[in-house]
């Protein structure tokens, strides 16, 4: 039978897989200083690596989401993890920049296959607590992203990038977990009682389109800003404050851990008080802290980035569920579109900001990006909870 209450074992399985997927993905960012040293890369080339794996995921995710809305593929989940496994092996033994880019694209394909279907599984297992389920699912990914730099600092930086190969073993663990999740998913599909309840709203088509565009713009501001930190925070600390590479990676872990915490908080709060309020506070509310960051001391830089990560990351679960409520029955398409757009804007941001850093300075990047959260003012045009009553 289709689950009518929150299925915590399935949510735990899909969140754990998300943790492994994003931990392995974040290793690419975490070893940028090693890749820069090994292959004499400039910031533009580093940005292109991020652009490759994030934009590969960006272009493929909406396509996969649209396809699986019509033809669900439960066992695509372990297949996606297998792509990540191959990508990490290739990265570990890469001998030139082009091989690194190819490895990054395989990791991007793995994420593209994983995210739309796993987000659908999270919604199926939610029991109606959609914000909580999405947050629970996403916090696994954010926690995994925060673990990547820490593990890189401890196990890769001292020994070299070939140690990345050991992390490919986590992909095999992910395949095993996802096989169990896929079996449950297939049972839900075969039961065909998926008449759980088709959600509806009374919003006109124009309002739906405008709302989705606004939500995508908000995702752009969030992803672009977070890209400046995930891709270049280590370089910023090393350049401005003379922090060692290993310590910079640990500070990156602290920032990414705050992102994970914020992600988990945002969804349940959105279930209780309304997703629009969470979006308001998360996007626009973080502006004072981003505007202060370029002028902060080392001590305050660490504190401010933790606050920024905590507040800004709380938006995505609320944004995603808000968008799913705009187009009921299109969970795969919306998940693929928003995850893909977020990945794409993150990758584009890394490439553009890398070029800006080469032409100006890494400090200027953070001054420029500090204004992005002001885009959160657009939240005022989103429909309120009362307008979406069924």
Q: Tokens in use for 226?
A: 């977070």
Q: Residues 6 or more apart from 162 whose CB is under 8 A from it?
A: 92, 93
Specify the fold of 8-192+202-388: Growth Hormone; Chain: A; (1.20.1250)
Question: Across all residues in the chain, what is the average pLDDT?
Answer: 86
Would the pLDDT of 362 be above 70?
yes
| Nearest to 125, CA basis, from 166, 44, 172, 182 | 182
Residue that the structure tokens 């679960």 belong to? 317
Would the pLDDT of 197 be above 70?
no
Q: Residues 6 or more apart from 151 whose CB is under 8 A from it?
A: 23, 27, 30, 167
Determine contact, residues 344/51, Cβ cutoff 8 Å: no
3-state DSSP assignment of residue 95: coil
Angle among Cα 232, 23, 165 to the nearest 5 degrees reads 100
The residue-averaged pLDDT of 221-250 equals 88
Helices (H), the chain: 8-30, 32-39, 43-70, 76-92, 97-124, 130-155, 164-191, 205-241, 245-273, 275-279, 287-292, 298-312, 315-326, 331-359, 362-369
Model pLDDT for residues 97-143, shown as the tens digit of each residue: 999 999 999 998 998 889 888 888 988 888 878 888 888 888 888 78
């Amino acid at each position: 039978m289709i689950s009518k209450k929150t299925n915590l074992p399935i949510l735990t399985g899909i969140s754990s897989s998300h943790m492994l997927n994003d931990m392995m993905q974040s290793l690419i960012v975490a070893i940028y200083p090693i890749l820069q040293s090994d292959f004499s890369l400039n910031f533009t080339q580093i940005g292109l690596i991020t652009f490759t794996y994030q934009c590969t995921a960006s272009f493929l995710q909406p396509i996969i989401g649209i396809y699986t809305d019509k033809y669900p593929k439960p066992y695509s989940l372990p297949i996606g993890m297998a792509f990540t496994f191959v990508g990490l092996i290739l990265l570990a033994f890469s001998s030139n920049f082009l091989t690194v880019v190819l490895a990054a694209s395989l990791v991007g394909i793995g994420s593209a296959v994983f995210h739309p279907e796993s987000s659908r599984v999270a919604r199926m297992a939610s029991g109606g607590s959609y914000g909580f389920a999405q947050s629970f699912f996403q916090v696994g990914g954010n926690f995994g992203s925060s673990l990547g730099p820490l593990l890189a600092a401890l196990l890769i930086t001292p020994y070299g990038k070939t140690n990345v190969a050991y992390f490919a073993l986590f992909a095999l663990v992910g395949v095993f977990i996802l096989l169990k999740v896929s079996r449950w998913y297939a049972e839900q599909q075969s039961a065909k009682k998926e008449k759980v309840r088709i959600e509806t709203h009374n919003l006109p088509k124009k309002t739906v389109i405008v709302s989705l565009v606004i939500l995508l713009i908000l995702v752009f501001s969030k992803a672009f800003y977070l890209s400046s930190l995930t891709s270049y925070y280590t370089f910023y600390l090393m350049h401005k404050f003379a922090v060692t590479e290993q310590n910079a990676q640990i500070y990156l872990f602290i920032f990414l851990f705050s992102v994970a915490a914020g992600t988990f908080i945002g969804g349940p709060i959105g279930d209780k008080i309304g997703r629009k309020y969470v979006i308001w506070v998360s996007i626009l509310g973080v502006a004072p802290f981003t505007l202060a960051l370029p002028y902060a001391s080392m001590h305050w830089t660490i504190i401010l980035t933790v606050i920024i990560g905590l507040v800004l990351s709380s938006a995505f679960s609320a944004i995603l569920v808000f968008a799913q409520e705009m187009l009921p029955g299109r969970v795969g398409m919306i998940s693929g579109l928003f995850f893909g757009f977020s990945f794409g804007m993150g990758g584009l941001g890394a490439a553009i900001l890398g070029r800006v850093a080469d032409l100006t300075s890494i400090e200027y990047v953070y001054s420029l990006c500090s204004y992005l959260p002001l885009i959160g003012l657009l939240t005022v045009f989103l429909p309120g909870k009362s307008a979406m009553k069924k």
